[in-house]
Amino acid sequence: MTNFMLSNAVITDGFSFLMQNGTIEIENNRITKIGKSDEFRNSDVETIDLQGRLVLPGLLNPHHHLYSALATGLAPIGPTSNFNLILENLWWHLDQTLDAESIFYSAIHGLIQSVKYGVTTIFDHHASMNAVRGSLEIIKKAFKEIGVKGLLCYEISDRMGADSVENQLNENINFWEQHHDNRQIQGMLGLHANFTLSEKTLALIRTAKPADMPIHIHCGEDRADYQYCIDYGYAGPVHRLSEFGLLTKDSFLVHCIHLSEKDYELIQEIQPTVISNPESNANNNVGAMDIMKIQKYVLGTDGMTGNILGTMRTHFLQRNGKIDNPLDVQFHWPAELTKRFFPDAGALKVGKRADLAITNYIPVTEINLENLFYHLIFGVQGQAMYMTIADGIILYKNNELQTIDEQEVIKNVKDAVRKLHKKYYE
């Protein structure tokens, strides 16, 4: 079905317009018309009656780790009493266990769990230390199979030695160069975090990185990351990146919890994208980003879940309902970010690619842009979508994936899990 209409809906881009009793017309993957349902009465185009449901733009998850999608139920192999031990005894051990098959099925599973929650674009941060080369191509294959857009990168760290760093760097640069203007998948430069990158490695990265290749790095997630930078004589993790010439307006800084005043100044001055991950931060007990000091940010899930609206709900509740500009955080700034890489996507607008998250929520009370956010928190509640559409293709509808045989895929995922978990405990 390439030409169809969605009628009888509450339609909003989340920040600039909201229309009741609306219809969206989709033709050849693009939104061709948005108007009142009455205007379309005589059309003979196939029409799906949404019965008053709330339609949102396709959602962005700007920081995810699809490699962790099959970790549920895994026991850490040692203590997890601080952030470093959580990494060593769970995540780093898992990523060293991944091979081509488990990378693919982790990505497939994580993508399915995202599509169900209306996510149509994902920025992924990948690690598989014993299967570095070609890993981003494998993940790309999963994105293509499910139909989601994204940016992929490999999180470089020193923990496997110098030879491995070179491999990890090449994996990032090769992928980025080969996917420059790709309409579905592009690359960026993944860095794990300051505290797993030596002075020598950052110097190497500075020399090798093409000037216009953006970085995506965990920054000040735990106190240890901040302290590492202080011990080397920097004013903090953002300052260290800046001193190595790696901080630009295009940089993605993830977490930004443990920072110095100098770091905040640099963020204010350079305006990189800051991505906060409230559920992950709570889970790792590392604190929370200061939203008084950093007012422009977007929300990611950091591998915890595919549910980005659920993450916003957590964020809202953690801050006791006191967050400024929630619609900018949830819709406006993610739309700007998506457009930077995919210029004809990221907006619920005529002429743009049709990426839509159609909620199951049918508002019965007054709804307008002023109260939309509360309809999301109390009405949508971070529940699974009714439909998810990416590039005009219905990926998910009424609890069922539409472009793949989910039962067949789950069988393959379970096979991959059995092998992965066995190897993890060996």
User: In the complex, which residues of this chain contact Zn ion (CB under 5 A)?
Assistant: 302
Give the residue with the Cβ less far from Zn ion, 63 or 109: 63
- Least distance in angstroms from the C-beta of 370 to Zn ion: 34
| C-beta closer to Zn ion: residue 302 or 355 | 302
> Based on CB atoms, which residue is closest to Zn ion, 279 or 302?
302
Q: Which residue is nearest to Zn ion (CB)?
A: 302
Tokens at 53, concatenated: 């449901």
For residue 227, report the phi and psi dihedrals to the nearest 5 degrees: -60, -40
Burial of 16: CB neighbours in 10 Å, binned 0-12, 13-18, 19+: middle
Q: Are 188 and 215 in contact (CB under 8 A)?
A: yes
Using the minimum distance from each CB to Zn ion, give the nearer residue, 222 or 302. Answer: 302
Q: Give least dist CB 31 to Zn ion, A.
A: 32
Q: How far is the CB of 18 from Zn ion (least distance, A)?
A: 33
Nearer to Zn ion, 13 or 221 (CB): 221
* Closer residue to Zn ion (CB): 125 or 240: 125
Q: Kind of pairing, strands 298-299 and 273-276? A: parallel
End-to-end C-alpha distance for the chain, whole angstroms: 48
- Least separation in angstroms between residue 125's CB and Zn ion is 5
Give the CA distances from residue 212 to residues 154, 173, 249, in Å, rounded to whole numbers and listed in that order. 17, 11, 10
CB of 192 to Zn ion, least distance (A): 9
Min CB(312)–Zn ion separation in Å: 18
Nearest CA to 4 out of 361, 356, 363 is that of 356
Contact 4, 47 (CB under 8 A): yes
Structure token digits, residue 75:
């026991």
Q: What are phi and psi of 229, to 5 degrees?
A: -70, -40
* CA neighbor of 16 nearest in space, from 374, 395, 347, 289: 347
Q: Which is nearer to Zn ion, 13 or 302 (CB)?
A: 302
DSSP 192-249: EEGGGS-HHHHHHHHHHS-TTPPEEEEES-SHHHHHHHHHTT-SSHHHHHHHTT---T
Shortest spacing between CB 63 and Zn ion, in angstroms? 6
